[in-house]
Structure 1
Amino acid sequence: MPYDREDMGRLVRELTGPLVAHLSPGRARLRLGTNAAHYPDAAAELEAFARPLWGLGPLAAGGGTFEHWELWRRGLASGTDPGHEEFWGAVTDFDQRLVETAAIGLALALAPEVVWDPLSGRERDNLAAWLLHALTVEAVDSNWHFFPVMVGLGLERVGVGFDPAPNAARLERLESFALGGGWYGDGPTAQRDYYIPFAMHYYGLIYAALAGDRDPGRAERLRERAAAFALDFQHWFASDGAAVPFGRSLTYRFAQGAFWGALAFADVEALPWGTVKGHLMRHLRWWRGRPIRDSAGLLTLGYGYNQPLLTEQYNAPGSPYWALKAFLPLALPAEHPLWTAEEEAAPDLPAVATQPEAGVALMRCEEGRQVVMLSAQQYNTWARHGAAKYTKFAYSTFFGFSVPSGSRGLDQGAFDSTLAVSDDGVHWRPCEVPRDSTAHDGLLHSHWAPWPDVEIETWLVARPPWHVRVHRVRAERGFFSAEGAFAVNRDTPPRRSAEGPGHARLDSPSGLCVIEDLTGVRAGRLVHALPGTNVLAPRTVIPTLTGEHGPGEHWLACAVLGLTESPPDAEWPEPPGWGTVSELLPGGHTCGLRE
């Protein structure tokens, strides 16, 4: 399905229309199901109400129609009226409600004629008072500082005065997170995930577009960083529009591509407009083909399908509607060059792109049909399944990655694209917190310690379409090891498979996956992971190498291949020669590996 401006407008209405039946009597709450997030129902129902505004506000600003605006205006009036039974409650420090104020602020800034002007004087006063109070609370030291800034943009547009000094300080703090090369941290953390494009840059570009006249120096810096980031971020997308699934908040789905529309909103031609348009439209078309809505048309929790296991503790039923951030360019007129440009195919990019700021190397495989991200730096210790979402060795646009579904056995652990160790062969520990990480010229290096008396040093080497993993293990105890390749959809019968000394291989219509031991000390097996663990396929099998090792120093190494299609001949692909890999290790170390 081709996507252009009119198609995108229809898609916004298609996504938001089914929500109407779930609005509360006062229209301030959207009740989409059981709230299992850490915040109360009032905040969750505000979240579901507010997040559609990320798409509806731009739709209205660009002249698009939406027949249910009166319902959202009633909701704004009821939710901000302290005397109404559906009052959302005052925003407090570090409150989920603060997150949702940003969408309301943007809607006021872009489309006051449908959001603000029709309200009565008392309703405007209540809404303004509620938002003004939100400007006074403490925010998490991260992209959250942008939420009061978005509120400020909306209040300015409708003529409500406030002290600008706190927001100026917040903007200074946000700029302090800049790392160079167009990259930010999402606060003082190790995370360099999608919160950089769909939060840090996204809000920054909105600010640059709406406040550039009065804050030109900052607006120029924000634009320059976004332009630089675009050159790196384009490597995260395959030629079919799929983005690398990586990190937390994947249930926001096509928010992954929101950065491309934000570039256009701020008139940042970081790449030719046809290229920018192609990135955005292919991404939306890719998502169009995924089963991400239920029978009533509501977005589900999960990534490639309805998968609540994937979600974080801050995901309520309305959380997925952050996806509507992708529709920001609907605010642009039809004459904008984003819309008048012909959509261009995915650009021809280098086979390996190393991005030291994020600690990743991106491999462009099979002429761009698949992107594999090697990762060695990032981690998250507080989000559900943080280790699986950040510290696996590889993440694929085609094979995705898996999260655990229990604590016993390899089938529950679903240890694709990682090395897990165990002292009893039942309970397993993967890498959780890498340290001393480096990324340079397709070589990633890190240290990690599953136990105080076991130290593991890992090298990842990009050799597209293969990648090689080398581990030096220094252990004061005996241990078991299990190292998985990619997880392959097992709903399609395999054409052939092989498991035995030094290898595990699977070839099916759902892809080919091979893991070859380069030390000859491990055995291969095909692990059937529990259902619902992989982010793209509900049922998978993981080619895996397993071993048992005594105390002492051990070198483990393997080569891993995942292809979307089988090679034309019947032979299993050969891994890259060791000589092309060992030269990258310190001193050309052979690690005792076979040639």
Structure 2
Amino acid sequence: MASFSDFGKTTPFGPNPIETRDDLGKFLVNMLDALEPHTSPGGSRIHLGYTGTHFDETAALLEGFSRPVWGLASLLAGGGDYEGAARWVNGLANGTNPKHEEFWGDMTDKDQRMVECSALGFAFAVAREKLWDKLSEEAKTNVGNWLGGMNDKEMPNTNWLWFRVFANLGLSKVGSPRADTTRMKADLDHIDTFYIGDGWSRDGPEGVVQLDYYSSSFAIQYSQLAYSKLAQDIDPERCEEYRNRARQFALDFVYYFDAEGRAIPFGRSLTYRWAMSSFWGACAFADLELPAPLTWGVVKGLQLRNVRWWAKQPGAFNTDGTLTIGYVYPNLNITENYNSPGSPYWCCESFISLALPPSHPFWTAKEEPYPTLDQRVKILKHPLHIGITGKHTYILSSGQQCSYPVKQGPAKYGKLAYSSAFGYSVPSGSDTLEELGGDNTLALSDDSGETWRARRDTREARFEGDKWLRSMWYPWKDVEVETWLVPPTAEAPLWDLRIHRIKTGRPLSSAEGGFAIYGQREDGRALDAAEDGKAFGTYADGGQARAASEAGVAGIVDLNASGRTGVALRTDPNTNLMVPRAVMPTLRGEHAASSKNIWLVTAVFALPASGEAGATTEWQSEWNKRPVVPEEIQKLMKLTKRRSTANTLLDLARGHI
């Protein structure tokens, strides 16, 4: 019997060690079992809640049905059995039968139903005997007609095209006359135009600057690897190209994971949770050996540690074992308008390694820890990220934005940094700084703090000398913000540096946040102010602020005495992805309209807790170090100051001021 100290802190799956193939299979089976009470009489719909989406309710219930099929098909393909598979066989027959009351409805242009075709096509390709062959001839015709109905429909010019590829691939594998291999080739040819080099593809055509998990585990890389295994006999040249891309991509993608198994939250659709790590399982499914140091043992560790970490997050599951909508805990603030209660089951992609036999090297290899990488700090050219590993795994980021309006877009793509340990925060409202959740953001207000703007549309982002990121942001017509993001150095390994040049034609208030951190004491009550150096508590003095809790330490310092004031800001509940109650070290400032450049130099400190230790005084020696502005940027700062002075004198001479 669990002790009171564990009350509310466990999941239905916590006792499962998830170390072996059998463990992973048991985890999946338990998840599938939890869905049975929520399944419609005809099996074609799974109802998990009452939240809404921009698409119709039938499509939402179809999500609940189809997404677990990623895992079910992999389990069956690997020789496993599941008695409940009959629920999905019946659901396929009834959902695609126009005469049945549970018919899913025919597909229209850009229909959400198209997304759900991908899992079904994959299932027919890998588990034909246990799924497709169980259907009656009438049902096979109906399924073929329903899936094939998407071939003459318009699709979004994004990763969605892969869903039609897999529908046609699956139909071709089972010999359905509705398979359109000509359509499949045309889709693949177009998808390949998204490729930009070094293994990376953007999620859309030229001009789209979006390289999030859809470019990797959620869709593109995952789909390429699965296709390279399943289509080798019909498209060998393309399959080998996809495998080469994955070999290159993996050496960058490893920087998005940490030693504890967490992935860095970045971008949209994070409610898909451990789908983040499905790329590593897809590498195994494709029998793809990766370059050093990514041995089979390392790949196995990257995959299983991520799944294990999620299986132990109590807020990720309801008490009956179904998934919640949110990230580490239920949170509708982070969701997009396409997230239904069934959406999180995209995580079932990560069970693809169950399709492999026990003799596969992925399963026979001994699990290895997070690898020692040649570079602690790496320039990730295509996503415009700087990857940083070590005691704190995070990225510095500039240049990405969603290619269409998306809820909380500035938070999901526009922040200056994203952390595997601390996550990021999203706004809960539009009026106060506490509602903004502006971690790792320079937020600006032109109405004395009534409303705030955070970076969304980043312009002119580029790397300079493979040393730092430089970019522009134009929040108003008469305001420009130029930002340099400088990664940690050996002299100050727990600090990154952010330099901002602001030119404004209006008075501005500014608030620059560091990392948001768990904001409670050991007894569960809110962190209170503490003396400098105390293990737990908040601290603010002049141009610096800090918070220390069982999650670690986060802080921020104004390095150039710009007049900003440090505060330990307690953000609104449910703004941060990782913890519902957070504190965010912040610098507050006021800036007059001026033709001169305003320079802000900010040092940001973060040290996650290791294991159960929480914050200790050991961080103090690192805190007392300070990063130094690179000489090249110092010269630029001095140069622009001289230019500003010269321009002011010229304006005086002309009588303009």
User: If the TM-score is normalised by the length of the shorter chain, which range does it land in?
Assistant: over 0.9
Trace 1:63-102 onto structure 2 (pairs within 5 A): 63-102=79-118
- Residue 373 of structure 1 is aligned with which of 395, 399, 404? 395
Structure 2 residue 180 is the aligned partner of structure 1 residue 178: no
Tell me by how many angstroms 1:149 deviates: 0.9
Aligned pairs (5 A) from 1:378-397: 378-380=400-402, 382-397=405-420
Contact 2:21 2:354 in 1 (8 A): yes
2:470 equivalent in structure 1: 445
3-state SS of 2:600 partner: strand
Cα distance between partner residues in 2 of 1:59 and 1:397: 29
Alpha-carbon separation, structure 2, partners of 1:91 and 1:18: 29
**Residue among 274, 278, 292 paired with 2:301:** 278
- 1:200 aligns to 2:220 (yes or no): yes
CA distance in 2, matches of 1:550, 1:158: 69
Separation in structure 1 between the aligned mates of residue 382 and residue 138 of structure 2, nearest angstrom? 49
1:3: how far off? 1.7
Q: Which deviates more, 73-82 or 376-385?
A: 376-385
* Number of aligned positions between the proteins: 587
Q: Secondary structure at the match of 1:256?
A: helix
Q: Is the 8 A contact 1:516 1:575 kept in 2?
A: no
Answer whether contact 1:177 1:187 (CA < 8 A) is retained. yes
Matches within 5 A, 1:46-195: 46-161=62-177, 162-188=179-205, 189-195=208-214
How far did 1:285 drift?
Answer: 1.3
Residue of structure 1 in register with 2:647 after alignment: none
What secondary structure does 1:504 align onto? strand
**Structure 2 residue ranges without an equivalent (≥5):** 1-16, 528-535, 610-615, 642-657
Equivalent residue letter for 2:486: V
Secondary structure of 1:113's aligned partner: coil
Structure 2 CA distance, aligned partners of 1:230 and 1:576?
33
**Separation in 2, partners of 1:14, 1:209:** 28
After TM superposition, list the pairs within 5 Å mapping 1:508-547 onto structure 2: 508-520=549-561, 521-547=563-589
Deviation at 1:166, TM superposition (A): 1.4
Q: 1:409 to 1:266 in 2, by over 3 A?
A: same
Q: Supply the AA of the counterpart residue of 1:191.
A: Q
- CA distance in 2: counterparts of 1:12 and 1:217, whole angstroms: 34
Identity %: 43
In the TM superposition, what whole-angstrom CA distance separates every residue of 1:242-294 from its partner, at most 9, and x where no partner exists?
10011000000000000001011111111311111111011111112212001
Once the two structures are TM-superposed, the CA of residue 567 in structure 1 deviates from its matched residue by 4.6
Paired with 2:632 and 2:191, the residues of 1 have a C-alpha distance of 37
Q: Contact between 2:73 and 2:123, CA under 8 Å: does it hold in 1?
A: yes
Secondary structure of the corresponding residue to residue 338 of structure 1: helix
Distance 1:496-1:539 versus aligned 2 partners, 3 A rule? closer
Does structure 2 retain, via aligned residues, the 8 Å contact 1:582–1:589?
Answer: no
Distance change (3 Å), C-alpha of 1:122 and 1:423: same
Which residue of 425, 445, 456 maps to 1:432? 456
1:361 aligns with 2:393: no
- 1:486 is matched with 515
Alignment of 1:176-575 (within 5 A): 176-188=193-205, 189-198=208-217, 199-270=219-290, 271-291=294-314, 292-349=316-373, 350-366=375-391, 370-380=392-402, 382-424=405-447, 425-440=449-464, 441-463=466-488, 464-492=493-521, 494=527, 495-520=536-561, 521-552=563-594, 553-565=597-609, 566-568=616-618, 573-575=623-625
Map Cα deviations across residues 93-127 of structure 1 (whole Å, 9 max, x no partner). 11100000111111111111121112111111111
26-35 vs 485-494, which deviates more?
485-494
More off after superposition, 160-169 vs 38-47:
160-169
SS across alignment from 2:135: coil
| Residues 559 and 575, structure 1, Cα contact 8 Å, conserved in 2 | no
d(CA) in 2 for partners of 1:16, 1:136: 33
Give the aligned residue type for 1:487: A
Contact 1:361 1:442 in 2 (8 A): no
* Corresponding letter in the other structure for 1:14: N
**Which AA in structure 2 matches 1:320?**
P
Give the letter for the 2:484 counterpart.
W
Q: Deviations over 1:336-371 (max 9, x none)?
A: 1111111111101222011010000011132xxx31
Aligned AA (2:517): V
Q: Is the 8 A contact 2:545 2:566 kept in 1?
A: yes
Once the two structures are TM-superposed, the CA of residue 577 in structure 1 deviates from its matched residue by 3.9
Partner of 2:196, secondary structure, is strand
Q: CA deviation at 1:584?
A: 4.4
- Counterpart amino acid of residue 558 in structure 1: T
CA-CA distance at 1:568 after TM superposition: 1.7
Displacement of 1:540 after TM fit?
Answer: 0.4
TM-superposed deviation, 1:2: 4.4
Deviation at 1:204, TM superposition (A): 0.8
* Alpha carbons of structure 1 residues 584 and 110: separation in structure 2 relative to 1, 3 Å: farther
Q: Work out the CA distance in 2 between the residues paired with 1:571 and 1:345.
A: 28
Structural RMSD (CA): 1.5
- Aligned partners of 2:483 and 2:331: how far apart in 1? 31
| Cα contact 2:169–2:181 (8 A) shared by 1 | no
The answer to whether the 8 Å contact 1:35/1:44 transfers is no
* TM-score normalised to structure 2 length: 0.87
Unaligned 5+ segments in structure 1 are: none
Tell me if the contact between 2:378 and 2:388 (Cα under 8 Å) persists in the aligned partners: yes
Closer/same/farther in 2, CA of residues 584 and 303 from structure 1, 3 Å limit? farther
Structure-2 separation of matches of 1:430 and 1:309: 17
Does the CA contact (< 8 Å) of 2:486 and 2:496 recur in 1?
Answer: yes
Partner of residue 585 from structure 1, selected from 607, 617, 633: 633
Does the 8 Å contact 1:35/1:41 carry over to 2? no
Deviation at 1:426, TM superposition (A): 1.6
Distance 1:465 1:170 in 2: 45
Rg larger for: 2
Is the Cα contact below 8 Å between 1:361 and 1:439 reproduced in 2? no
Residue by residue over 1:167-210, the C-alpha shift from the partner in whole angstroms, topping out at 9 and shown as x without a partner, is 11110111111110100001122111001112101111111101
* Alpha-carbon distance, 1:571 to partner: 6.0
Letter in structure 2 aligned against 1:548:
E
One-letter amino acid of the counterpart of residue 506, structure 1: A
Q: Do 1:466 and 1:576's aligned partners in 2 also have CA atoms closer than 8 Å?
A: yes
Distance 1:220 1:584, change over 3 A: farther
In structure 1, C-alpha distance between the alignment counterparts of 2:362 and 2:467, rounded to whole Å: 34
Runs of 4+ residues deviating >6 angstroms: none
Alpha-carbon distance between aligned partners in 2 of 1:139 and 1:506, rounded to the nearest angstrom = 47
8 A Cα contact 1:471 1:555, kept in partner: yes
Instruction: For residue 383 of structure 1, report the CA deviation from its aligned partner.
Output: 1.2
CA distance, structure 2, for counterparts of residue 486 and residue 237 of structure 1: 18
Change (3 A) 1:117 1:99: same
8 Å Cα contact 2:18-2:27 kept in structure 1: no
Whether contact under 8 Å (2:298, 2:371) holds in the other structure is: yes
Q: How far apart are residue 152 of structure 1 and its match?
A: 1.4
Query: Do the aligned residues in 2 keep the contact of 1:277 with 1:338 (CA within 8 Å)?
Result: yes
Q: Which is worse superposed, 489-498 or 30-39?
A: 489-498
1 CA distance for matches of 2:88 and 2:627?
Answer: 62
CA contact (8 A) 1:421 1:480 kept: yes
Q: What TM-score results when the alignment is normalised by the length of structure 1?
A: 0.96
| 1:35 shift after superposition | 3.7
Name the amino acid aligned to 2:521. T
